[in-house]
Amino acid sequence: MDYSLFMMPLHPPGRNVTESLQEDRQAIVLGDRLGFKEAYVGEHATDAAETVTSSLVFLATMADQTQHIKLGTGTLNLPNSHPVAIASHVAMLDHLLKGRFIMGISPGGLMSDAEVFGSFGKDRNAMFVECINTVLKIWASDPPYDIEGEFWKVSVAQTMIPEIGQGFIMKPYQQPHPPIVGTAVAPFSKGVTEMAKRGWGAISANFLMPEWVKTHWDSHVQGRTAVGAVPHPSEWRVAKSIFVADDEATARRYALEAGGPYHFYFKQLSYKLIKGGGRSNLFKTDPSMPDEMLTPDYITQRLVIAGTVNSVVDQILAFRDQIGDFGNLVYACHDWMDPALAKRSMELFANEVMPRVNQALR
């Protein structure tokens, strides 16, 4: 089983942005040194807690700071951008990384972003599909392009000057395009099925109950078999909030109790999804459960794996038994309230937990 990183990122509002951005960069540099396979970074333009406003810009700063780890957007919120901006910026970053790039995409879930970019109230799923289709058409064709959809038109027919290169949109380093993945945040996700039909991967969200994460494999299988492909667990990435400490008391205090960064994360996220997004179903296994019972304590206890090395190994193996085989365990990054403990957790996870997990799976 491979292991990777995912950061939204999510920090306490009011934290020094300069410091939190450097902290997020340090996490990826450390991940590269520790053998994490991939690192995904999210983006939002209108959130004081999620301080990466452009995942592409952020990842560009990591090009010369990392050597082996593949860097992915987690995700590009396609309805909020023009397809030409996506196509040209992604292509350039793919060249800067010499193919160490993975293109994570989604319709985006933050409605304040949708409002400010003018897509609030529109069919964002339709915009998402049209945008990625347009990006792929751009990369597969040459000027004048002449691609017209419901939401965007791409053409340089009136202004192109082929003999000097004017009107050409850059193609990516990886051909025909970088690997594409999408985040899966809904039970029985139809989006996972549609992505699988196109050969795209999925990352199951770390804020989804295991009972719902399990359904994503069936959705992936449906998509792959529908196009005559053979699905393999290596194609499935599953994100999980994990904290490893040298003693159980530290693990409980830092990762499970109020006042710690993991509890803050789920308090912030559950408020956003339940109060602001009507998505309480993500945190329930029984639909009749009252929303009032979905407290940060309840959610954190259900969704965080925390403990010493031996305990975390056992919990990861039990989690895998519950949801089924998958190929990439994606370690969800949280605010470095205590940098020494956060770094120690990543080190223990990579150097001790995952070798033991993989030994047990042989």
DSSP 187-203: TT-HHHHHHHHTT-EEE
pTM (two decimals)? 0.97
Residue 275: per-residue pLDDT: 81
Tell me which residue has tokens 């992936």: 220
What is the residue extent of each domain of the chain?
2-74+179-241+306-361
d(CA 12, CA 184): 25
d(CA 141, CA 159): 17
Interval 262-320: pLDDT, tens: 999 999 999 989 887 788 999 999 989 999 999 999 999 999 999 999 999 999 999 99
- DSSP string of 46-93, one letter each residue: S-SS---S-HHHHHHTTTTT-SS-EEEES-EEGGGS-HHHHHHHHHHH
Burial of 140 (0-12, 13-18, 19+ CB in 10 A): exposed
Residue 85 pairs with which residues in a beta bridge?
Answer: none
Amino acid (1-letter code) at residue 208: L
d(CA 109, CA 140): 29
Whether 254 contacts 317, CB under 8 Å: no
Question: φ, ψ for residue 36 (rounded to 5)?
Answer: -60, 140
Hey, what CATH topology would domain 2-74+179-241+306-361 get? TIM Barrel (3.20.20)
| Token code pair at residue 57 | 């810009």
- DSSP string of 309-336, one letter each residue: HHHHHHHHHHHHHHH---SEEEEE----
Give 126's contacts (C-beta < 8 A, 6+ positions apart).
Answer: 150, 151
d(CA 150, CA 153): 8
Give 70's contacts (C-beta < 8 A, 6+ positions apart).
Answer: 37, 38, 39, 100, 101, 102
Whether 203 contacts 183, CB under 8 Å: yes
Residues in the chain: 362
d(CA 36, CA 2): 8
d(CA 73, CA 104): 5
d(CA 196, CA 194): 5
Residue 245: per-residue pLDDT: 98
| Token code pair at residue 148 | 């017209």
Interval 73-112: pLDDT, tens: 999 999 999 999 999 999 999 999 999 999 999 999 899 9
**Helices 354-361 and 309-323 sit at what angle, rounded to 10 degrees?**
50
Residue 279: per-residue pLDDT: 87
User: Residue 203 CB: number of other CB atoms within 10 A?
Assistant: 28
Which residues does the chain have with pLDDT short of 70?
none
Whether 336 contacts 27, CB under 8 Å: yes
